Amino acid sequence: MENIAFVVLVATEQHVHYSQQICDEMESSAKARGTGIARRSPEYVSQKMLEGKAVIAYTSEGEWAGFCYIETWSHGKYVANSGLIVAPEFRKYGLATLIKENIFKLSREKYPESKIFGLTTGLAVMKINSDLGYEPVTYSELTNDEDFWKGCQSCVNFEILKSKERKNCLCTAMLYNPEEKKKQPEQKVEEVKRNTKLFERWTRFKEYLLLRKQKKQQEKINQRTTPIV
C-alpha cells in the first residue's frame, strides 16, 4: 500500500465546493452498505463548514478524501459527530481514525460540557469511538430532541426504529460523558489513597514483626552472656 499524505483540518468557506461530492458519497456509501444514514443537502454541509463545525480531509494534491461534522441537540446538552465518510479510494489508510480524532477534539473545544454521542452500525467506527472514551449505552441515554430523531426518517431502517418505539434499532448507541470522565481521576485518587493506607498498614505490620524478631534475638543473646552466679 502506497503512502499518501493527508491534510486533516477544520473546514472553512474555501472547502464549500466539496459539499456536493461529500453528499453524493454519503448517499452511495449508505446504499452500498445497505444501512442507513441521515441524508443531508449540500447546503446543510456547506453551512457546517461556514460555522466551523466540520472537519475535512484531502490529499496534498487537493483531492477530497473524507469529512465529518458536528450537530448539537437539546440546547447544546448533546453533541453528535455525524456524517463520517471517507472516499472509497482512500479507505484502509487509517483516515477515518484521523478524522474522528479531529472532530472529537473540535467538539470538546466548542462544547466542553456536552455529552458526545453517536449511532453506528460500523464495527470500525465503534472501535474508534471506544478508543476515544465512548461507552455503549441504551437509546434512553441519548437526546430526546425530536429534530434529531426526525433525521432518522431518511434512514432505510427507520421503520425498525419506529416499531421499537425508539428504544433500539440496528445502530449501536455510544456516549462520551465528560462528567463521568471527571469522576474517573477522582476515583483513581481515592484508589491510590486506599492503596497507600493498605501499604502503610502492611509496612507497620512488617516493622512490628521485625522489631519482635530483633527483640527475641536480643533476649537470646542476653541469656547467653548473662553470668551464672
What is the per-residue pLDDT across 162-179, written as a single tens digit (0 to 9) for each? Answer: 999 998 888 899 999 999
pTM of the model: 0.75
Indicate if the pLDDT at residue 185 is higher than 80: no
With cut-offs at 50, 70 and 90, classify the pLDDT of residue 201: confident
- pLDDT bracket for residue 135 (50, 70, 90): very high
> What is the 3 state secondary structure string of the chain?
CCCCCEEEEECCHHHHHHHHHHHHHHHHHHHHHCCCCCCCCHHHHHHHHHCCCEEEEEECCCCEEEEEEEEEECCCCEEEEEEEEECHHHCCCCHHHHHHHHHHHHHHHHCCCCEEEEEECCHHHHHHHHHHCCEECCHHHCCCCHHHHHHHHHCCCHHHHHHCCCCCCCCEEEEECHHHHHHHHHHHHHHHHHHHHHHHHHHHHHHHHHHHHHHHHHHHHHHHHCCCC
Given CATH 3.40.630.30, say whether it is the number of domain 6-176: yes
